[in-house]
Structure 1
């Protein structure tokens, strides 16, 4: 490998790191701004399985909250969103993926659904999808003390 190729690779990696840092700073600033504007906001954690060694994934996406897109937050390694106290209308979509026999992957995407949930100030909730009942489950998460 020539020296110029090494410089190109190092430059591309450095640009990638810089872009990631800028994106993280922008995301954290929007999160802090939302927290400042809504100090009583509740947190909704998405319970899905985006990674599985054999490829059996279940993905839950929150498309809109009250007709608007909100920045996604992280709680540990779990994705989530802030909810304003009171009634919130969530537009959610569920998708499953598994390895196929005739095709490489079999993906099933369920139509988006709107559900109305009520959030209390500064509480933590989880949202998941029950495939058998074909409905979303919104429940309060018990706070560890």
Structure 2
């Protein structure tokens, strides 16, 4: 068995190292500064668009974005916040809603308030209907939580 050794000449070694250095310097993390700055610029622009985006709350109309802070805070303080139309809930409906938001299930609400499950469902159906009449539908428990917080029926710290 014959083993042949391939010897690299001293002149070929620096050329090989230079080729390896050039090849590794063009990896994905070390793109040219123009390409990297373009990626950073696009990322900053996307984040700026996202932070400037105004999303409406469910059942709440989209409002104009607030004026920049440079416009002055005294002008903002002079304009009262627009009140959302609130349904006229009975005391019992408020009690059922608050209890349902605090407990895990409708049967637990029925047991806590000493009423039947059907009565709990009736109260919640009427509450949802009243919100829907005002153009603020609340078809889910999460939507009812949002309505209750917006209308000061429940405080977010209570949840």
Higher strand share: 1
Higher RCO structure, 1 or 2 (CA under 8 Å, sep 6+): 1
Higher helix share: 2
Q: TM-score, normalised by structure 1?
A: 0.27
